[in-house]
Amino acid sequence: MPQSRIVVVDDDPDIVEAVKVVLECNDFTVMTANNKEDGLALIRAEKPDLAVLDVMMTKWQDGFEMARELKKDSDFKDMPILMLTGVEDKTGLEFKSAAGDPDWLPVNGFLDKPVEPETLIAEVKKLLAK
Amino acid sequence: MEPIPQDLRLLRRAYWLIRLRWVAVAALSMAIFFASKVVGLALQCEVLYGIAGFLGIYNLLVYILLRYFGRSDDDEGDQFPIRSIKAIVNLQISVDLLTLTILMHFSGGIKNPFIVFFVFHMILSSILLSPKESYLQATFASVLIGLMAYLEQTTLHHYCLEGSIRLVSVSNDLTIFGITCENMYIMGVVAVMSCTFNLVVFITCSISTQLRKQEQGYWLANIELEQKDRIKDEYVSRVTHDIKGHLAAIQSSLDVVSKGMLGPLNERQSEFIGRAGERTRTLATFVRALLRLTRLRLSDSVDKQQFCLDETIRNCVEAARLKASDKTIELTSVVELSDSKVFGEQLSIEEMITNLVLNSVKYTPAGGKVEVVAKRDGDHVVITISDTGIGIPKKELPRVFDEFFRASNARATERDGTGLGLSLARQIVKRHEGKISVESEIGRGTTFTIELPLID
């Protein structure tokens, strides 16, 4: 079975690095980007099996916009997106209940930062198996 | 900036005036009865009872009028009809003065000792109205008394207070500067009353104005404090959010090392990474609670929905089940709400009750009991979470809901704790227009009681 390829996009390089190590230790191939534009370019070039996005990158809602853009693209509408965020407390938005709403928050999974390695791996495997 | 609710205060006082008038109607009727039947005064009873009746009807009309004009305060809330309310209060006082004058005319005129009741009306108008309006009312009262005295001496019939009381009559033969003594006396009373009215208005208005200014000062100071508190909350929210981001990165990096993903660790390395991880987790819990609290304090909008409390409370109890059984604590619940619905933030309420139950488990020694009871009480639901735990020292009880406060024995039992859980609970209950209280006895246990309004 070929290794699944995952793109991780987050503006916090430390988080990106930690997530990368966790995923690589579980035999995934990981590519990273630190902002929305690079992330989109990387995803379009590499066509990964899954994308891990942060909600709030350099700009507020960059992650949302990226997810919406990808789901509109016929090449990527079936690619699962896992969203990581520490933003919930700031906005008061209950992301969990909105995750999966195709118009508002078109993501397939949602996890609070910091994510325990086991939780991250379990969620990634679950999304890839679908 | 929120305006000083002087409009609302005027409305409240207008209703107070109506209540006062009901007392006046009853007192007047009794006084007429007493004066005519017991004292034996020859009064114009039919007319006087008629005046009491008129006062009652007029009071009812004013009440209806006030209900009509005062209601927009609740419904629309944008433009309070202050002018209408002021006009109604002015009208009330004027009609009261007129009624009192007619009453005096039919019961002895200026010689009736109850004429001093005009002074009460001056005090009332000075409290309720502006100084200018009060002086106008004082002038109106002086004119009414003067007019009554004049007309009674010239064209109108003068009803003497005759009966068992022997009134001293002044001889009409004596004159001073061509004016009879009786007329002199009447003019004197009118002049003294007029002075008294103006003096009373002056004194009462001075005190009222001073009090109003003081009240306005307190109000403004309070608003300023609230604004400063908000700025502080915004600051705390921004800072803690940044800290949370860094903590997430630290936690993620530590996890990678502690799980051996970058190679095996020796025992000491593992131990110290574990300690760093534990402290980071404690700090993250604290920061999350602080963020949650400031968020609740800062946001005015509440995302409310209808939900059944039964299941929510059962979920809370189940969430604490594992921790309770780990400590061999008997965790029981009695939920008798028969699908009663609450209108609120389900997640917040669930989080709050779960935290309170977990708190009880945390501070109850092994083998103890924790019980959750939810019952309906009229249009409220009462939820109690009681335990057989360590309790809270009596003198510390008033402070348990304060931010960052932890009871001294709680700190001694459990090092970790944010001191924010109960503040969060209080904030959540406040947003739902409910109440939270605590009772505790050291060494015997603690009971938290939450009251939330229900929807029928």
- What integer pLDDT is reported at residue B174 of this predicted model? 58
Q: Does residue B177 surpass a pLDDT of 80? A: no
> What average pLDDT does the segment B76-105 reach?
81
- What integer pLDDT is reported at residue A14 of this predicted model? 92
Q: Does residue B158 surpass a pLDDT of 50? A: yes
Q: Which of B244, B249, B261 sits opposite A25 (nearest CB)?
A: B261
pLDDT, tens digit, for every residue of A70-100? 888 888 888 999 988 765 544 444 555 555 5
Nearest C-alpha of chain A: how many angstroms from B320?
21
What class is the A5-129 domain? alpha beta
Residue B419: which region, alpha, beta or left (left: phi > 0; alpha: psi -120 to 50)? left
> What average pLDDT does the segment B82-90 reach?
83
Q: Does residue A108 surpass a pLDDT of 80? A: yes
Domain boundaries, chain A: 5-129
Tell me what percent of the residues of chain B surpass a pLDDT of 70: 90
Q: What is the 3 state secondary structure string of chain B?
A: CCCCCHHHHHHHHHHHHHHHHHHHHHHHHHHHHHHHHHHCCCCCHHHHHHHHHHHHHHHHHHHHHHHHHHCHHHHCCCCCCHHHHHHHHHHHHHHHHHHHHHHHHCCCHHHCHHHHHHHHHHHHHHHHCCHHHHHHHHHHHHHHHHHHHHHHHCCCCCCCCCCCCCCCCCCCCCEECCEEHHHHHHHHHHHHHHHHHHHHHHHHHHHHHHHHHHHHHHHHHHHHHHHHHHHHHHHHHHHHHHHHHHHHHHHHHHHHHHCCCCCCCCHHHHHHHHHHHHHHHHHHHHHHHHHHHHHHHHCCCCCCEEEEHHHHHHHHHHHHHHHHHHCCCEEEEEEECCCCEEEECHHHHHHHHHHHHHHHHHCCCCCCEEEEEEEEECCEEEEEEEECCCCCCHHHHHHCCCCCCCCHHHHHHCCCCCCCHHHHHHHHHHHCCCEEEEEEECCCEEEEEEEEECEC
Please give the residue that has the higher pLDDT: either B170 or B151.
B151
Q: Which of B252, B288, B291 sits opposite A18 (nearest CB)?
A: B252
Q: Which residue of B has its CA nearest to A97?
A: B347
Nearest C-alpha of chain A: how many angstroms from B271?
18
- What integer pLDDT is reported at residue B378 of this predicted model? 85
Provide, as residue numbers in chain A, all residues whose Cβ is less than 8 Å from the Cβ of B248: 12, 15, 86, 113-114
Cα distances (Å, whole numbers) of residue B188 to B104, B149, B195, B350: 17, 11, 11, 76
At residue B142 the predicted structure's pLDDT band, cuts being 50, 70 and 90, is: very high
Across the A:B interface, residue pairs with CB atoms under 8 Å apart total 58
CATH architecture for the domain at B305-453: 2-Layer Sandwich (3.30)
pLDDT, tens digit, for every residue of B186-215? 777 888 888 888 888 888 888 888 888 898
Across the interface, whether the CB atoms of A86 and B244 are under 8 A apart is answered: yes
At residue B163 the predicted structure's pLDDT band, cuts being 50, 70 and 90, is: low
B431, HSE (Cβ side, Cα atoms, 13 Å):
23
pLDDT, tens digit, for every residue of A2-14? 689 999 999 889 9
Mean pLDDT of chain A: 83
Across the interface, whether the CB atoms of B252 and A15 are under 8 A apart is answered: yes
At residue B270 the predicted structure's pLDDT band, cuts being 50, 70 and 90, is: very high
> What average pLDDT does the segment B416-442 reach?
89
Mutate to test the interface with B, among A54, A85, A89, A96 (most CBs of B within 10 A): A89
Q: Does residue B411 surpass a pLDDT of 70? A: yes
- What integer pLDDT is reported at residue B272 of this predicted model? 94
Tell me what percent of the residues of chain A surpass a pLDDT of 90: 44
pLDDT, tens digit, for every residue of B282-340? 898 888 888 888 888 887 666 778 888 888 898 899 989 999 999 999 999 998 887 77
pLDDT, tens digit, for every residue of B37-73? 887 777 888 899 999 999 999 999 999 988 887 765 4
- What integer pLDDT is reported at residue B75 of this predicted model? 45
- What integer pLDDT is reported at residue B340 of this predicted model? 77
At residue B102 the predicted structure's pLDDT band, cuts being 50, 70 and 90, is: very high
- What integer pLDDT is reported at residue B306 of this predicted model? 84
Q: Which residue of A has its CA nearest to B347?
A: A94
Mean pLDDT of chain B: 85
Q: Which residue of A has its CA nearest to B245?
A: A86
B285 touches chain A (CB under 8 A): no
B247 touches chain A (CB under 8 A): yes
Q: Does residue B234 surpass a pLDDT of 80? A: yes
